[in-house]
Amino acid sequence: MVDLTALKRANDSRWAHARITRASSTFTQVATRLVAPVAKASYLAVASRIGVPWFVIAVIHERECSQSWAGSLAQGDPWNRRSVHVPAGRGPFKSWEDCAVDALVNCAPYAARNRDWSIGGILTLLEQYNGLGYASRGRPSPYIWAGTDQYVSGKYVRDGVYDPNAVDQQLGCAGMLQAMMRLDASIKFGAAAAVGPAPVAEKTGQAVVPAPSNSAPSITRPAPGSIGAWIASFFKKAA
């Protein structure tokens, strides 16, 4: 059993000390795609429905399907067909946005229920999204730390098969977030805005998909996931 409180502390400490080890331009190229206005608008649309920060949605999208708008946020399967990979049996959906909402509301680790949007809480949620197999081995998760000095090797090459010598070639969420923050000043960490209980899946297995808000975000009524919805709390790197 993984102690999530201890994992949050560990991830918070790793974030404070992490340094990029891959070419910074590689992270910048990906971050530029993720914060691009059209992409950000789609992430904010999902964030406004469920309260998960848009930048968290963005890095999940990149890790799960290299930001493919044809791929599900849950596991990368096409969202217009019933999924075959875990979580299997989801969909088909009417849109990428509806599929993203389903993944974050109805699929483990039920990200829409999270209320800790500190950097430690965010990174631990992202680690849970991929699975706690690395934490149970006492190893940093490449899903979070690949491309930084916090990760060297070790990867689940397929379900249940761990190779200690394999190296994850994808970029980790932490490095992507660092690169995104350099490009978009609205990305900040802190407590989530107060919201009602997150919807959960029905016993029938049908997706519970909140409808889009009829009120457009504004300065006086910011969308969840936007700068106006969060309490700013910067985490400085250790000297």
pLDDT tens digit sequence for 40-54: 999 999 999 999 999
Q: What percent of the chain has pLDDT over 90?
A: 77
% of the chain beyond a pLDDT of 70: 79
Say if CB 145 and CB 138 are below 8 A apart. no
Q: What local confidence, expressed as pLDDT, does residue 12 receive?
A: 96
Nearest Cα residue to 95 out of 45, 167, 130: 45
Q: How many CB atoms lie within 10 A of CB 124?
A: 28
Check residue 5 and give its pLDDT: 95
Alpha carbon separation from 204 to 7, 71, 78, 79, 238 (Å, rounded): 34, 24, 22, 20, 49
The reply to whether omega before 109 is within 30° of 0 (cis) is: yes
Q: Give the rounded distance of the alpha carbon of 237 from its chain centre.
A: 21
- pLDDT value at 219 more than 90: no
230 Cβ neighbours under 8 A, 6+ residues apart: 53, 117, 188, 189, 190, 191, 192, 193
pLDDT-derived band at 7, boundaries 50, 70, 90: very high
Q: What confidence category does residue 191 fall into, taking pLDDT thresholds of 50, 70 and 90?
A: low
Q: Provide the pLDDT for residue 228.
A: 39
Q: pLDDT tens, 116-175?
A: 999 999 999 999 999 999 999 999 999 999 999 999 999 999 888 999 999 999 999 999
Phi, psi at 163, each rounded to 5°: -115, 110
**Distance of alpha carbon 229 from alpha carbon 50, whole angstroms:** 12
pLDDT at position 158, please? 84
pLDDT mean across residues, the chain: 84
Q: Is 71 helix (H, G, I), strand (E, B) or coil?
A: strand
